[in-house]
Amino acid sequence: MVVNVLTRREYFQRLAGLAGLGATGLSLSSNSTLAADLADEPTSRIIDPHVHVWKNDSNYPWAKETTNPPKEDALPEKLLELMKANGVSKTMIIQVIHYRWDNRYMFDVIQKYPRMFRGITRVNPESSSAPDDLKRLTRMPGFAGVRISPATGPEGNWIRGPLMPPLWKRAQELRTVMTVLTSSSRLPEVGKLIEQHPQLDVVIDHMADCPIDQPEELQKLLNLARFPRVCVKISHTWSLSKQAYPYPDTHEMVHRIYDEFGPQRLMWGTDWPLVDQHCGYAKALSLVRDELKFLNTGDKHWILGKTVERIWPFPA
């Protein structure tokens, strides 16, 4: 099934039947003039929705679960250099797992560079206080959402436990964004939570690392396209491919995701600094901008920035 590319105006008009525009906090049904203005606003800046930052510093200790912390820092100043060199305007920082639920370093970076970064936090999904922790974090400048990462093995079974519905319900009430890092095997369980919280914006990271040679696993991701508030990051092709850059054996899978979700619900993402072990920051951008031949110019504007701004608005 090929999804027709919508104009921005058409996209916002279709969203008008929903209660609001997710994390933007705009009610299109109550303000059609504002919706029209948004639809006509040209937006083509590049925004990276997926990076991490960390620092070997006793003021920001690693979590006790981090037994093998990174030896080299991932500093925002290095990231800003890469952004400038590659024409990337803004970036979403994803709380790195090395700190677990201590989001302080990320927020300190955002406080230092408030116009450049927003942040996706973590809360402990196995704690009954997670909903209240999330509410507290929403008051932090630069807050943009929460991330959960259910593992494939038994240690990730909390995704189907009793603590999940309260957390997802609170996220929906707060009109924030739920970002999910998991494998394709967990997507049916994630889908049940999505179905129970239809007003919550959800972003699936890295195509759920669907194996390129297991179409039944990819189908689990494609099944989520029926939920209009689900977006997918078409990132991590370097971890799935069995070939060298530009990872041509992954392009058909990305094309199928594009066909089901449409460009207005897709995002790229570098996953810096992890990408430095593979193709590097610049090529992660070039992959979407230059190598995915089925994308037209409008598609690239959505995937490289406009989808991100719809979910996580940045100041001009």
Tens digits of residue pLDDT in 62-90: 999 999 999 999 999 999 999 999 999 99
Q: Is the pLDDT at 294 greater than 70, yes or no?
A: yes
- Given CATH 3.20.20.140, say whether it is the number of domain 43-311: yes
Tens digits of residue pLDDT in 168-182: 999 999 999 999 999
Axis crossing angle, helix 164-173 with helix 130-137, rounded to the nearest 10? 20
Q: Is the pLDDT at 31 greater than 90, yes or no?
A: no
Domain boundaries, the chain: 1-42, 43-311
Tell me, letter by letter, the H, E, C secondary structure of 188-228: HHHHHHHHHCCCCEEEEHHHHHCCCCCHHHHHHHHHHHHCC
Q: What is the pLDDT of residue 42?
A: 47
State the pLDDT confidence band at 124, using cuts at 50, 70 and 90.
Answer: very high
Q: What is the pLDDT of residue 14?
A: 42
Query: How many beta carbons lie within 10 A of that of residue 50, not counting itself?
Result: 27
Q: What is the pTM of this model?
A: 0.86
Distance between start and end Cα atoms, the chain:
36
